[in-house]
């Protein structure tokens, strides 16, 4: 009985293998493709190597001659000028006056976040470029261009670049009252006992602080004049609220829309920027 059952199992297994090879011939040969198929190849993406980083070699050695010493000093001077460039732009150009006046008008309008400080600084920067363009053009023509062409040394290029800036600063100050007194004070503080014959004989390190004080004074005068009409609006609104018994209501909430309406009606931004540009004396 057991032998018969084992024979039946073997016969069933043989039948299954025969059916499998008849109906699934592809399984017997893995290299055959189905009908109507197209053979092709696939390019695998090769892994890329690490990114190439350039090698920078900085060596420090003793100078071999006087020319190398002079070149090192010139490079040091150039780096010093580049590090002081923001201070030069802020304090020796029209940027100081323009930025202070624009900040005054923002405070006079009782605006806290509009326009942002970055916008105020951007407007001041581009107005400075507009006002200082003749001076910058002289510096490029007389100093930067000849220096890049090898026609001037660094010392002569510095003097050629200094002259237009000195001329601009002197033009803004020499017609102002108290200019000579400030010059004499700074000359005494710096240890100069001899009075200069002309304003152009004043050293640059004395001329710069005098110019800064002059710009601060003019900017604050313009700011006071800008505050007056808006202070009147604040007084009127505060008096009206007090007469109506609205003590707890901040007057700024009511006066600010009236200030903005007045500023828009008189075309304030155009008027302000035009008068700012006209306030600078540009000769030659």
Tell me, what's the pLDDT at 108? 86
Tell me, what's the pLDDT at 235? 85
Dihedral of the CA atoms 13, 15, 16, 20 (nearest 10)? 140
Tell me: the pLDDT tens digits for 240-261? 888 887 777 777 778 888 888 8
pTM, full prediction:
0.68
The candidate with the shortest Cα–Cα distance to 156, out of 74, 211, 89, 76, is: 74
Report whether pLDDT(267) > 80. yes
Q: Which residue has the tokens 């102002």?
A: 176
Tell me, what's the pLDDT at 77? 73
Tell me, what's the pLDDT at 166? 86
**238 vs 34, residue with greater confidence:** 238
Tell me: the pLDDT tens digits for 48-82? 666 666 666 566 667 666 666 666 776 777 777 77
Asked if 89 contacts 208 with a C-beta cutoff of 8 angstroms, the reply is no
Average pLDDT value for residue range 116-144: 88
Tell me, what's the pLDDT at 3? 44
Domain ranges of the chain: 86-226+267-278
Listing DSSP states for 198-241 in one string gives SGGGS-HHHHHHHHHHHHHHHHHHHHHHHHHHHHHHHHHHHHHH
Tell me: the pLDDT tens digits for 18-57? 555 555 554 444 445 455 555 556 666 666 666 666 666 5
Tell me, what's the pLDDT at 28? 44
Least confident of 47-51, 135-139, 261-265, 269-273: 47-51
């Amino acid at each position: 009985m057991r032998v018969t059952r084992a024979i039946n199992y073997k016969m069933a297994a043989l039948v299954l293998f025969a059916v499998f090879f008849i109906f699934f011939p592809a399984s017997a040969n893995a290299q055959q493709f189905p009908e109507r198929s197209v053979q092709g190849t696939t390019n695998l993406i090769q892994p890329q190597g690490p990114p190439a980083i350039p090698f920078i070699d900085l060596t420090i050695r003793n100078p071999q001659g006087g020319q190398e010493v002079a070149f090192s000093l010139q490079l040091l001077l150039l780096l010093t000028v580049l590090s002081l460039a923001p201070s030069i732009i802020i304090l020796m150009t029209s940027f100081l006056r323009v930025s202070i006046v624009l900040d005054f008008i923002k405070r006079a309008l009782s605006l806290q976040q509009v326009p942002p400080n970055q916008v105020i600084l951007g407007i001041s920067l581009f107005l400075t470029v507009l006002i200082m363009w003749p001076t910058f053009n002289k510096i490029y023509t007389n100093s930067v261009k000849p220096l890049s062409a090898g026609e001037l040394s660094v010392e002569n290029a510095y003097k050629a670049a200094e002259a237009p800036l000195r001329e601009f600063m002197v033009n803004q100050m020499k017609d102002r009252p108290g200019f000579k007194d400030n010059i004499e004070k700074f000359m005494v503080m710096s240890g100069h006992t001899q009075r200069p014959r002309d304003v152009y004989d004043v050293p640059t390190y004395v001329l710069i602080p005098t110019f800064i004080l002059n710009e601060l004074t003019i900017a604050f005068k313009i700011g006071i004049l800008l505050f007056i009409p808006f202070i009147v609006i604040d007084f009127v609104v505060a008096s009206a609220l007090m007469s109506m018994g609205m003590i707890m209501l901040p007057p700024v909430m009511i006066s600010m829309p009236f200030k903005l309406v007045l500023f828009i009606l008189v075309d304030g931004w155009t008027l302000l920027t035009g008068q700012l540009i006209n306030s600078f004396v540009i000769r030659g």
